[in-house]
């Protein structure tokens, strides 16, 4: 996955219907540069219903001694997901959908990089697969 993405909620009624959301949706402002460690909207199955919640981007496993590990755990590769201890136990019950309208990939230009914005042709919101955990 990319390292930056954006989400502009648009019409929440559509999101509620499309993803069968139960309960209220928190107030979410449009954001076009969501980065690791920031709060971001996700759809998670909580208390028997799909709910939109704000989760911090960066997985902090429940067993971690320090919250800063979440700064480094922002991507999981599908091909090794079931093998890594950090992700394996979350696959069954701790999956979520990360709401997005687009994401950035970087193109090298000379000595620098230029962000390239990717979105659906329709500009509709879409989701990334995600995993979550609770850390205390």
What is the per-residue pLDDT across 81-104, written as a single tens digit (0 to 9) for each?
888 877 888 888 899 999 999 999
**Which pLDDT does position 100 carry in this prediction?**
94
pTM of the predicted structure, to 2 decimals:
0.86
CA distance 14 to 83: 36
Within 8 A by CB and 6+ apart from 47, the residues are none
Evaluate whether residue 105 is within a structural domain: yes
Q: Which residues are catalytic?
A: 2, 105
Residue 1 has pLDDT above 60, yes or no: no
Report the chain's mean pLDDT, rounded to a whole number.
Answer: 87
> CATH number of the domain that 36 lies in?
3.90.1680.10
Classify 54 as helix, strand or coil.
Answer: strand
**pLDDT one-digit tens code per residue, 9-38:** 877 788 888 889 988 888 888 999 999 889
C-beta atoms surrounding 133 within 10 Å: 18
Evaluate whether residue 124 is within a structural domain: yes
Could you tell me the residue range of the domain that residue 14 belongs to? 4-131
Evaluate whether residue 136 is within a structural domain: no
């Amino acid at each position: 996955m990319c390292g930056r993405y954006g989400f502009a909620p648009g019409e929440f009624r559509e999101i509620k219907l499309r993803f069968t959301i139960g309960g209220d949706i928190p107030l979410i402002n449009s954001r076009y540069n969501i980065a690791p460690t920031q709060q971001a909207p996700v759809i998670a199955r909580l208390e028997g219903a799909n709910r939109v919640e704000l989760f911090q981007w960066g997985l902090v496993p429940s067993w971690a001694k320090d919250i800063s590990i979440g700064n480094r755990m922002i991507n999981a590769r599908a091909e090794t997901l079931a093998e890594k201890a950090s992700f394996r136990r979350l696959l069954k019950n701790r999956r979520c959908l990360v709401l997005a309208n687009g994401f950035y990939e970087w193109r090298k230009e000379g000595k620098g990089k230029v962000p390239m914005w990717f979105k659906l042709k329709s500009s509709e919101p879409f989701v990334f697969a995600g995993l979550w955990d609770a850390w205390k």
